[in-house]
Amino acid sequence: MNKDIFLSNSLGGKKEKFVPIDSKKIGMYVCGPTVYDDPHIGNARPLVVFDLLFKVLKCKYGSKSVTYVRNITDIDDKIIKSSKEKNISISELTLNITKKFHEDCKYLNCEIPTHEPKATDNIEPMINMIKELIKGKFAYENNKHIYFKVKNFSDYGKLSNKNLDDLIAGSRVELSGNKDSPEDFVLWKPSNDDEPSWSSPWGKGRPGWHLECSVMSKKYLGNTFDIHGGGRDLIFPHHENEIAQSVCANKTKKFANYWVHNNFITISKEKMAKSQGNILKISDYKKKYNGQVLRLALMSTHYSQPLDWNDKLMDECNRTLDKWYNCFVPVNKKILIDDNDLKPLYDDLNTPGFIAVLHKLFDKAKDGTLEDKEIFSTACKFIGLLDQSKDKWDSFKKQNLKLSENDILKKIEERNKARDKKDYELADKIRNELLDKGILIEDKDGKTIWKIK
RNA sequence: GGUAACGUGGCGGAAUGGUUACGCAGAGGAUUGCAAAUCCUUGUAUCCCGGUUCGAUUCCGGGCGUUACCUCCA
C-alpha cells in the first residue's frame, strides 16, 4: 500500500515518518537473547513486536527488500556464571537455551529472521573493531583490558538523554582500578583458565557486552542502517554503547536512524525481570494455551506501553480466538487488505487498533459471504493469527481433555434420555458434571453438541 | 538526586482541538424445559488546578499519583 509507516523513535522521542535509506534494501537489527536461561514472556514481547514490524515493512516494500537480523549472544559473564551454577559446559548451556528459544519463537508463530548470527562466530571482526577504536584514540589498553573512552565521543548520552556529569554524579557506575574514568566500558577483558577465551593482540580473553551487536549489524546491514530495536531496558547502557562503538569505529555520523523500543511486561505493575523473581516462562503456557493466545495477548497493548500481565487476559484472548475460528476459512488466493484496515499497523504498530478492525471484519464475515470470511482470515493471518487450521486449533484443546470422547457421548445420550422423560433434574445434573470436567453442552436445533470450555 | 514515560467507563485498551473506537463484564429482550451458544438493544469515562482557545480529555505550565532507567535486564 502507498501509505506511510510511522514509528516512535527513541532517538529524539517523537513519532516520525519512516523514510528508508534505500527502499529496496531496508535493514532492521533487533537485539536477541543472551542464552543463559529459559526465555520468559518479557522476552517474548520484542519477538512478537519486531516480527510484526518485519511483516509491515515487507508489506510496504516487498518481502525481498527487508533484511531482519536478530543476534544470539552466546558469550557473556552471565553465561559463564549460569554454566557454573548448573554445572554444565558452556556449549551445552548455550545450545540448549538456543534450542528452547527457537521452540518458543515457533510457538509464538514468529517468522525466522533473515540472519541470526552468533557472537562466538564473530570474534575476529570484534577484535578488528577494537583495533580501529584504539587507532582512533577512542579506546585504550590497561592491564590487558581494553576500555572505550566515553569522554572522547561527544554524542554520548544522546539516545538515553543522559549527560556525563549526571552519570558520574549518580556514581552507580562500576569503579575499576583499570579504568581511566568510571563511565568507560569494557571492550575486551582477559579470561581465567576456566573461562572461554580467544587469542587477541592483548592476550587471551573475551569481548565485553555491546560489541557483538555493533559488529554483527555492520556485517549484515552496513555502517548505517534503518531500524534498531529491542527492549526499553537496553537503551542504557547497551544501545548507547553500541552507538558509541559503531560511530567511532566506522567513522560515520549515524548508526541506526530509527530506534524502536518495546516497553515491559509487568506483574502487579512491577517489571517482570529475572532479578525480581517474578518471571513467567514461555514454556509454562505451552500445555494449556495455543501459541496464538499468547501472541494475541502480547498484541493487546501498544508496544510502547507497559503490559500488565494476568490470567484473565489469556482467557479473554483464548475466547476471542475461539470465536474467531468460527469464521476461519483457508485462503489460497491473494487477497489485499483494505488500506484503511491496515492503517493502524502502519501507524506505529497500533495493534489494539488493528484488533478492533479484526472484530469489525469478523462481524461482517459471520453472516457474510465466503469472500468476507476470506478477507477476515487474511487479515488475521497477516499478524500471525489463525495461521493453522481449525482442526489443529480444536485438537490442541482436546489434548488437555480428561474424558474420552466416547465417555462424553455416552453422558450426552444418558442426558437426552432423561430429557425425553422430562427428568430435568437428572439432565441438569449430568450437564453440570460434564461442565465440572470442562465440557460445555449446547442444545441446538434439536441436537446436542459439546465443546471444550 | 538526575532522566523519561504514563494517569481514559466496572476491567482491559485505542484515538482525538468540537461529533468520544474496540473487547470483556453488566442490564434488557429474542430463543430455550431451564441453560449454554447465538442474535438484537443498551448505560457508564478522559487524575487535580491554572493558561492558550469560540471550544481541551487532547496543546502549555504547575501539582498529585504510578512506573521505569541511571547496575544485569527484553
Task: Work out the pLDDT band at A427, boundaries 50, 70, 90.
Answer: very high
- Phi first, then psi: give them for residue A263, nearest 5 degrees: -80, 180
Distance A302 CA to B6 C1' (A): 13
Q: Which of A350, A259, A227 is nearest to A299 (CA)?
A: A350
How confident is the model over A236-269, as pLDDT tens digits? 999 999 999 999 999 999 999 999 999 999 998 8
**List of residues 6+ apart from A147 with CB closer than 8 A:** A139, A140, A178, A179, A180, A184, A185, A186, A187
* Residues A231 and A316 reside in one and the same domain: no
Q: Which of A232, A266, A300 is the last residue of a domain?
A: A266
How many angstroms separate the CA atoms of A110 and A429, rounded? 44
* Residues A391 and A420 reside in one and the same domain: no
Distance A306 CA to B19 C1' (A): 31
Distance A295 CA to B22 C1' (A): 18
pLDDT value of position A280: 95
Give a yes or no: residue A275 inside a domain: no
* Residues A261 and A297 reside in one and the same domain: no
Least confident window among A21-25, A110-114, A367-371:
A367-371
What dihedral do alpha carbons A173, A175, A178, A182 form, nearest 10°?
40
* Residues A73 and A206 reside in one and the same domain: yes
Task: Work out the pLDDT band at A410, boundaries 50, 70, 90.
Answer: very high
* Residues A76 and A175 reside in one and the same domain: yes
Calculate what percentage of chain A has a pLDDT beyond 70: 97
Strand B and A229 CB separated by under 7 Å: no
How many angstroms separate the CA atoms of A155 and A161, rounded? 10
How many angstroms separate the CA atoms of A275 and A269, rounded? 16
How many angstroms separate the CA atoms of A166 and A173, rounded? 11
C-alpha cell at A1: 500500500
Single-letter amino acid code for the residue at A74: D
Domain span at A232? 7-266
Give a yes or no: residue A281 inside a domain: no
For all residues of chain A together, what is the average pLDDT? 92
ipTM score assigned to the predicted complex: 0.94
How many angstroms separate the CA atoms of A54 and A354, rounded? 16
Strand B and A158 CB separated by under 7 Å: no
Strand B and A427 CB separated by under 7 Å: yes
Using alpha carbons, list the distances in angstroms from residue A408 to A53, A396, A430, A433, A451.
Answer: 44, 18, 10, 11, 10
* Residues A227 and A78 reside in one and the same domain: yes
Give the helix ranges, DSSP H, for A195-336.
211-221, 240-250, 291-299, 311-324
Give a yes or no: residue A1 inside a domain: no
How many angstroms separate the CA atoms of A352 and A354, rounded? 5
* Residues A392 and A411 reside in one and the same domain: no
Strand B and A184 CB separated by under 7 Å: no
Q: How many domains does chain A have?
A: 3
Task: Work out the pLDDT band at A437, boundaries 50, 70, 90.
Answer: confident
Strand B and A167 CB separated by under 7 Å: yes
Give yes or no for residue A413 having a pLDDT over 90. Answer: yes
Distance A340 CA to B21 C1' (A): 14
Give yes or no for residue A232 having a pLDDT over 90. Answer: yes
Task: Work out the pLDDT band at A445, boundaries 50, 70, 90.
Answer: confident
Strand B and A174 CB separated by under 7 Å: yes
pLDDT value of position A404: 86
Task: List chain B nucleotides near protein: any atom < 7 Å from a Cβ.
Answer: 1-6, 11-15, 21-24, 32-40, 66-74
pLDDT value of position A174: 55
Buried/exposed A55-83: b ≥16 CB within 10 Å, e otherwise? bbbbbbbeeeebbbbbbbbbbbeebbebb
Distance A55 CA to B19 C1' (A): 35
Q: Higher pLDDT residue, A407 or A113?
A: A113
Least confident window among A124-128, A139-143, A343-347, A447-451:
A447-451
How confident is the model over A147-185, as pLDDT tens digits? 999 999 999 999 998 887 766 655 555 556 788 888 899
* Residues A382 and A234 reside in one and the same domain: no
Give a yes or no: residue A308 inside a domain: yes
